[in-house]
Amino acid sequence: MIFAALLSLAYRGMGLNRLEGRIVDDRTGQPLAATLLLVDENGKPVEIDGEHAHVEYLGKRRCYVDGAFALNARPGRLRAEVRRGLETLPLEADVDLSRQGSEALTFRLRRWIDMRERGWVSGDTHVHFLTQGDSHLQMRAEDLNVLNLLVSDFTNDRPKFSGKLDPVSTPGHAVYVGQESRDWQNGHVLLLGIRRIVEPFEPFGGKFQNRDEPNLAMSRILREARAQGGVTTWAHFCNLPGAESPIAIALKLVDAIDLITYDDPTQLPSHWGPWTNSGMSQAEFTVMRSLDLYYCYLNSGFQLPIGAGTDKMGDNIPVGSNRLYARPTGSPDYDGWLGGLKAGNGFITNGPMLTFDVDGRGSGEVVPFTGSRKVRARATARSILPFQRLEIVVNGEPAAVKPVANRPGADGLYAAEVEVALDLEGSCWIAARVAENPAVRNRILPRGLTVFAHTNPVYFLKDGAKVKDTASIRYLQKYLKGTNYWLNTAARFRTPGEKEEALRLADQAAKLYAALEN
């Protein structure tokens, strides 16, 4: 009897020390998934109870919480940081627990914008290793609508693939298991919305980390994915554009390039393979930033959409930290988002929300004109993360620049608005972007990324002619020359037929680039 009484007292003591908390929507009171960081009065992080995933963001380790959490230890004070993606104001609060009763702590999160309500669907093209259930929780906590979970040669999770929308999906939160195919020299590609795995599933092609496997022909893989109705993107173009990308882009085998993923598109890529294996010196074939390489394609007449993903493989980045907002074609679901990706009608971002139009025309639209034309371009950017400037660019050159105050406004947002009148005398593309000043390194985001956002362009074509910049076309021809050198001297395919096919496609691409000059 004495033991039972002591046990009862102990349980009551634990109950007194236990602290429960909730995270809810400020407007509706409904529970919200989010990320949570708790710190005690000594500045020591406090871990919540139970099993839960973590993520590093803005230099701090955070817990994923599905609406509710608990602590069995009860410090004297707590500092809480709660975050939920890019569309909700982050919450910071100090709590004096000596004045807190037994009622649950409640943190109310307030949206500053609802992009889905405005007709946008957000998506991350590139996620690895998560289970489908963890994918669904984390995308809700990051306020993300579409998550592409990719099986590949290194993830050992082929059984996740079903060829259809995963059953864990709910309205507004779609998980689809797709595929990444990888070759260290030729490049990486993403196969989204595919119905069947594209073989060979293994191994990683090329020489990488003490592995030396036959190279994979990316163009063949892209073609097979397309044949089954899949949507294809060139993975992490920002750091690994790969030797085959000028072939695949010229032959229109990719629906988009992922301009933000692993590296900062405003910096040089970390993988110099296409340049170091080109047979040319750096003086002859200079390494180019992925942003400028993308502009080369636009300036050569390609209407090439952009996408974004995280390449999440661990706790060092949240899903949706880099994302594409697209206007869905049809329903605002997974297929509609894929349609918007292909149409190039949205913008990519790791923070700022952009609006952009040129005389009422939006991203992805093609506007014919004759003679000369006067237009007015307008853009706005609003963000919970600090950024330095908002720009409107024409054929890659800034036409208007608006600097941003280094402090948020009363609403907690950093904001800028820019408008410019343009006289169009020839074919051009016009876009808006948030990009850091190269002289300043505000690398606050995972993997040292700067705050970045970029719209897909609006294309104005005079008399139906494509944009044509000779220097850009010649750079891409030089890139293809380097690819041909690599294919002829160092590439090692499984069969002679694969090599012959790669060289044949390179020759087709060369003819297309030559035709652009005429």
Q: What is the pLDDT of residue 118?
A: 97
Is residue 5 predicted with pLDDT exceeding 50?
A: no
In the predicted model, what is the mean pLDDT of residues 491-501? 93
User: Can 18-109 and 113-348+469-518 be said to share one CATH topology?
Assistant: no
**Interacting residues of 44 by C-beta distance below 8 A, sequence separation 6+:** none
- Lowest-confidence segment of 45-59, 202-216, 423-437 by average pLDDT: 202-216
* CATH tag for 350-467 (out of 3.90.1010.10, 3.40.630.10, 3.40.50.2300, 2.60.40.10): 2.60.40.10
Separation between Cα atoms, residue 134 and residue 467, nearest integer Å: 44
Q: Show the CA angle centred on residue 355, arms to residues 398 and 112, nearest 5°.
A: 130
Separation between Cα atoms, residue 455 and residue 447, nearest integer Å: 22
pLDDT band for position 76 (cuts 50, 70, 90):
confident
Separation between Cα atoms, residue 404 and residue 317, nearest integer Å: 26
Q: What is the pLDDT of residue 406?
A: 86
Q: What is the pLDDT of residue 439?
A: 63
Is residue 191 predicted with pLDDT exceeding 80?
A: yes
Is residue 14 predicted with pLDDT exceeding 50?
A: no
| CA distance readout (Å), 295 to 282, 305, 433, 458, 482 | 20, 11, 13, 13, 19
Q: Show the CA angle centred on residue 440, arms to residues 438 and 441, nearest 5°.
A: 100
Q: What is the pLDDT of residue 13?
A: 38
Of residues 342, 315, 305, 341, the one with CA closest to residue 326:
341
Q: Which secondary-structure segment (H or E) carries 508?
A: helix 496-517
Superfamily of domain 113-348+469-518 in CATH is Metal-dependent hydrolases (3.20.20.140)
Average pLDDT of the chain to the nearest whole number: 93
pLDDT band for position 111 (cuts 50, 70, 90):
very high
Q: What is the pLDDT of residue 102?
A: 72
What's the pLDDT tens digit per position in 285-332? 999 999 999 999 999 999 999 999 999 999 999 999 999 999 999 999
φ, ψ at 227 (rounded to 5°): -60, -25
What's the pLDDT tens digit per position in 210-228? 778 899 999 999 999 999 9
Q: Which secondary-structure segment (H or E) carries 142?
A: none
Which amino acid, residue 231? V
What letters, b where the CB count within 10 A reaches 16 and e where it falls short, cover 120-141? bbbbbbbbbbbebebbbbbbbb
Strands 174-183 and 146-151: what pairing?
Answer: parallel
* Sheet strands (E) in 261-387: 306-308, 323-326, 347-349, 353-358, 366-369, 373-383
Long-range contacts of 374-378 (CB under 8 A, 24+ apart): 374/421, 374/422, 374/423, 374/424, 375/421, 375/422, 375/424, 375/430, 375/460, 376/419, 376/420, 376/421, 376/422, 377/419, 377/420, 377/422, 377/430, 377/432, 378/417, 378/418, 378/419
What the block records as the tokens of 394 is 């024409």
Q: What is the pLDDT of residue 440?
A: 66
Q: What is the pLDDT of residue 4?
A: 32
Question: Domain limits of the chain?
Answer: 18-109, 113-348+469-518, 350-467
Q: What is the pLDDT of residue 438?
A: 63
Question: What is the percentage of the chain residues whose pLDDT exceeds 90?
Answer: 88
Q: What global pTM score does this model have?
A: 0.95
Q: What is the pLDDT of residue 461?
A: 98
Strand partners, 380: 355, 417
Of residues 210, 281, 215, 201, the one with CA closest to residue 243:
215
Question: What is the percentage of the chain residues whose pLDDT exceeds 70?
Answer: 96
What the block records as the tokens of 117 is 């309500």
Separation between Cα atoms, residue 428 and residue 448, nearest integer Å: 33
Domain 18-109: give its CATH code: 2.60.40
What the block records as the tokens of 125 is 């093209």
